[in-house]
Structure formats: C-alpha cells, structure tokens
Amino acid sequence: MNVQKWLEALDKQRRALKMSLPVLAERAKLSRATVCRILKEKRTSSSLESVLAIANVLGGEVELHMEDPEKLVERQIQKRAKKIVRMVQGTMALEGQGITDPDHIDQLVEMAAKEIRAKPRKQLWVRQCRSSNPSQAKHPSPMSPN
C-alpha cells in the first residue's frame, strides 16, 4: 500500500467514525492545521510520527514487515544479472549475433548472477554507472546524483 492510499484510508475511517478534524487533532495531540494537511491535502511528506498518531486515534495499526535479507539480496542479484544479459543481448542483436534460445539466456543470467555473488555485497547496492571511462565508473563525480 502506498502512502497516498494510507492517507485516504485514514480519512475514510475518520469519516466513518464521524469524527471531526478538530476532535481528531486534539486526540492525536496535533494541530488542526497538521491534521488537515495530512488528511485533506494528502501530503505524503508529513512526518511519520504525525501519521501514526492519527492512525492510532482512528484505531489503525501500522506494522512494518521486513523481507528476509537473503531473499532481498538474491532478488537484487537476479535483477542485476538480467539487466546485464539484456544489455549484452541488445548489443549482440545489433551485430546479428543475438541469442534466441531461452535456456541459453537463462544460463547467461545464472553466470552473471554467479559473478555478482562473488563480489563484495556492498557493491550490490551501488548504482551502476554507464560510463565507458573506467575511472569515472569507479569514482563518480561528487556532483553526480545517486
């Protein structure tokens, strides 16, 4: 569920409870302006603490579920490996050497994944640079966005 939908759900619950904005603000120990900004303007930049206070007053409970780190790592490895194979495939296809056998493509993805797994894990989260200059790829400019 995205933040916008959370805020819509909170306002829907408030209306179903027939709770006015001033009463909600008082019970959540927030200003009326803050509650209006969150529920009426659907400001997704609102503080998490304020949104949780409103949810608590309205009987909502927010839980955080974290994916198993190893599953997340493997998903990221597969994503990177597939991206590498797609890029190579695109170049090879331009040269008339593209691979069309799905099993062969799967093998290439697994080979790329194996190479990615062999690297230090912290590199998995670094944004890949498309620069052909190796010095730029290793040391991005401090002005470059991450």
Cα dihedral 32, 35, 38, 42, rounded to 10, equals -80
How far apart CA 62 and CA 51 sit, in angstroms, is: 10
Q: What is the pLDDT of residues 119-142, one digit of tens each?
A: 888 888 887 655 444 444 444 444
- Determine which helix (DSSP H) or strand (DSSP E) holds 76, and give its type and residue range: helix 69-94
Cα dihedral 69, 71, 76, 78, rounded to 10, equals 160
How far apart CA 113 and CA 123 sit, in angstroms, is: 13
User: What amino acid occupies position 11?
Assistant: D
The domains of the chain, with CATH numbers, are 3-57 (1.10.260), 69-126 (no CATH)
How high is the pLDDT of residue 130?
57
Q: What is the pLDDT of residues 76-110, one digit of tens each?
A: 999 999 998 888 887 766 666 767 788 888 999 99
User: What amino acid occupies position 96?
Assistant: G
